[in-house]
Amino acid sequence: MGCLPVTIPVKNLKWIPNSKKSYLARIGINTLKDLLLHFPRRYEDRTQFFSAQPLESDSPVCLFGIVVKTSFQRYGHNPPCFEAEIEPQHANVFSHRWTCRWFNSRYLAKIISVNDKIVIYGKIRIRRQRIYLDHPEFEIIEELQDSIHFGRITPIYPCGDGLNSRLLREWIFVALQEFDPKTIPDILPPKEIVIPREEALQNIHFPPNFETLEKARKQFVLEEFFKLQCLLARRRQRALSSHSTPKIVSRKLLNKFLSQLPFSLTTSQQEVLEELLAEIAEPRPMRRLLQGDVGSGKTVIAAACAIATVEAGWQVALMAPTQILANQHFKNFHRWLSPLGISVSLVTSDQRTLPGELPLFSSPFGGDVIIGTHALLYESTPLPKLGLVIIDEQHKFGVEQRARLLNRGICPDLLIMTATPIPRTLTQTIHGDLDVSFIRERPALRGTIKTLVRPSSHLPQITSFLRNELSQGRQAYIVYPLIEESEKIQAAAATERYEFWKQALAPYTVELLHGRMPADAKEKTMQLFHQGEISVLVSTTVVEVGLDVPNATVMVIENAERFGLAQLHQLRGRVGRGQLPSTCFLIQSENTKIATERLSTLEKTSDGFEIAEADWRFRGPGDLLGTAQSGLPELRIGDLIRDSHLMEHARKTALELFSQDPSLANYPILLQTLVQFEESISQKFADT
């Protein structure tokens, strides 16, 4: 091993050409440590040379031979193609010659010559009884043992413009020889270390076998998850160690509110409400995520918590991601809370009174309950009596925005609501610093929703069904993935299809709603739809959350395969909000196996959590809810689906460590790592 500290900048690494260093910076590689932790995205087994009867396959093969002929060939009007004919040299191979082709690559004539020993790696193609490999990877060698690209389990790296996996492989190979292992210490507790860090780094890049590779990968995945869970545990510990004034509630107003509701709370709602009321009475701030499926009644629970907080002498702030949703919360809370003598105010970017003459107080921040959009974040008025912050659809906001609103008061309680079901592992990741409550029942007297997947050829029958529903006084949504047609995306657009539906459903009133409309126009359209003066709303996903029109019984979603399952489930939840049976048509334009399999999930179940798990499996782990928004690191190597068991283990380990050593006095390296990361997150948000 060498003596270079891992903090040394890439610009000081002599084995990397100066012309390439800027390309490394573009993919986030600025130091030697960044280079060492730039993990392969996959591996290719190049340990065995191909020795079977050549057949076309999408699986690459590895071949060693001698170049016996080179030439340029022209195919049609394309630029000349450089070809190299290879005579295989390893044992037990059929005596076929192979032709390697590189189109538009004249420069290769200066690299590949007759009698060169060459290793190639690519996919077999057979044309007119000749065997071809188009654009294979290759390496001219003296001896096979000298190659880092072949004869081994070969790492394939994520690359940016100006880079390729071969270059990264060469640079990382040198880096592993030059770095000082003492400058990149373990942050895992000793009992959790699978193999030494130095060995793990060598084996994650250049493993001798797949078993060793898996051990190294487990080490780095566990370390990555452990660091993430320590960040969450540290946030949680800070909240638990803060002091909050207990909110003692007489329940006089709360009981009056509950008794005047036209329905009874479900058992699940009652349990969650008691859980929340007990927590706000504690001398530490509540930090809780409330998950509930579409239509499960989260808003009523939020209103009950708001009443209890106001009854204890405190203010409440509720932040929603859109003006439409904020307006709807304002109307609901005003209707429920005003009879109790609780004032409700609205704060949005335009600060205007809602249609219908609902009152806005002259000082919005003087209300008992303040409801608003992002505008709540940018007011400088302090709220010393702020006792409860409620955030609806948390995934639309970032962790810094949440913190900014909490900082308006003095250790207020926090209740986050979401109707977007979150898989369990992701909940532990994104919201690991929060306690979690679930509302698992739908309120009584809610209509059933039948979901039907249909090809676009069934549109005439769907139109007939729609007209029948409208003739009975019902209403409908028709949703599209785009506002306007796009050359890049082949999908129906709301503005173009709006004219079609106006004619197809005449004389019923059809109106258009999308996100680019002025706020007052959107609000007016939604109010008219809510009042029943508009029969059909042709819309984009602006109707995804929060809209409550009990008379709407039909949801038609065109190009349904272009939506995620969780989003389709949210859209479906706009119907079935009254007692009438409802229908959701998912119109499938792409008749592929995967699209059909995805959409059939919604036909089979209405359980949002089951749908979320399926959505996750189909889409892959990705950045489902935005780790950047959550103030968490982007995962370099861990897979939240494949490695869910390691995430649970990392969470358990982190919580145990913080319970034994809350200050991390015995883990200075870990503490330093966490502090540096939190500083970088704060700086990133400050810059933006």
pTM score: 0.67
Q: What angle do CA 571, 631, 371 make, to 5 degrees?
A: 55
Q: What is the pLDDT of residue 435?
A: 84
Q: What is the pLDDT of residue 352?
A: 44
Name 317's bridge partners: 370, 389
Question: Which fold, 252-439?
Answer: Rossmann fold (3.40.50)
Average pLDDT over residues 48-55: 66
pLDDT band (50, 70, 90) for residue 487: very low
8 Å CB contact between 279 and 338? no
Q: Which ranges of 517-574 would DSSP assign to H, the alpha helix?
A: 519-530, 565-572
Q: Identify the H or E element spanning 44.
A: strand 42-45
Q: Tokens in use for 292?
A: 């509930």
Q: What is the pLDDT of residue 395?
A: 55
CA 39/CA 218 separation, integer angstroms: 13
Q: What is the pLDDT of residue 67?
A: 94
Q: For 315-329, what is each residue's pLDDT tens digit?
A: 999 988 877 788 888
pLDDT band (50, 70, 90) for residue 430: low
CA 331/CA 531 separation, integer angstroms: 14
pLDDT band (50, 70, 90) for residue 470: very high
Q: What is the pLDDT of residue 107?
A: 86
8 Å CB contact between 519 and 507? no
Residue 394 has pLDDT above 70, yes or no: no
Average pLDDT over residues 438-459: 84
Point out the least confidently predicted range of 86-95, 278-287, 634-643. Answer: 86-95
Q: Tokens in use for 347?
A: 């704060």
Q: What is the pLDDT of residue 233?
A: 85
Residue 364 has pLDDT above 60, yes or no: no
Average pLDDT over residues 281-290: 88
Q: What is the pLDDT of residue 633?
A: 61
Nearest-CA neighbor of 132 among 89, 94, 102? 102
Listing DSSP states for 71-119 in one string gives EEE--TTSPPEEEEEEEE-STT--S--EEEEEET-GGGGGT--TT-EEE
Q: For 552-579, what is each residue's pLDDT tens digit?
A: 999 999 989 888 888 888 889 889 888 8
pLDDT band (50, 70, 90) for residue 75: confident
CB neighbour list of residue 104: distance below 8 Å, 6 or more residues apart: 78, 79, 80, 81
Residue 688 has pLDDT above 50, yes or no: no
Average pLDDT over residues 271-280: 93
Average pLDDT over residues 442-448: 72
Name 416's bridge partners: 289, 391
CB neighbour list of residue 24: distance below 8 Å, 6 or more residues apart: 10, 16, 30, 35, 163
Percentage above 90 pLDDT, the chain: 31
Q: Tokens in use for 623?
A: 């950045």
Residue 425 has pLDDT above 70, yes or no: no
CA 318/CA 277 separation, integer angstroms: 17
Residue 218 has pLDDT above 60, yes or no: yes
Whole-number mean pLDDT of the chain? 82
Domain 48-151 grouped into CATH 1.10.230.10: no
Percentage above 70 pLDDT, the chain: 85
Nearest-CA neighbor of 407 among 424, 389, 426? 389
Decide which of 3.40.50.1970, 3.50.50.60, 3.40.50.300, 3.40.720.10 is the CATH code for 449-607. 3.40.50.300
Which position has the token pair 């906001």? 397
Q: Tokens in use for 26?
A: 């573009």
8 Å CB contact between 139 and 150? yes
- Residues in the chain, how many? 688
CB neighbour list of residue 543: distance below 8 Å, 6 or more residues apart: 477, 479, 513, 537, 571, 574
Q: 212 versus 411: which is more confidently predicted?
A: 212
Point out the least confidently predicted range of 159-173, 227-241, 418-432, 624-638. Answer: 624-638
Range among 92-101, 138-147, 255-264 with highest mean pLDDT value: 255-264
CA 436/CA 291 separation, integer angstroms: 7
CA 559/CA 562 separation, integer angstroms: 6
Residues of the chain with CATH 3.40.50.300: 252-439, 449-607
Residues of the chain with CATH 2.40.50.140: 48-151
In 3-state terms, the chain is what percent helix, strand and coil (to 5)? 40, 20, 40
8 Å CB contact between 436 and 291? yes
Nearest-CA neighbor of 677 among 628, 638, 625, 619? 628
Q: What is the pLDDT of residue 355?
A: 36
Q: How many helices (H) and strands (E) does the chain have?
A: 19, 22
CB neighbour list of residue 598: distance below 8 Å, 6 or more residues apart: 561, 565, 614, 618
Q: Quick one: DSSP state of residue 516? A: T
Point out the least confidently predicted range of 9-18, 344-353, 652-661. Answer: 344-353
Q: For 622-675, what is each residue's pLDDT tens digit?
A: 444 444 445 566 778 888 778 888 988 998 999 899 888 888 888 888 888 888
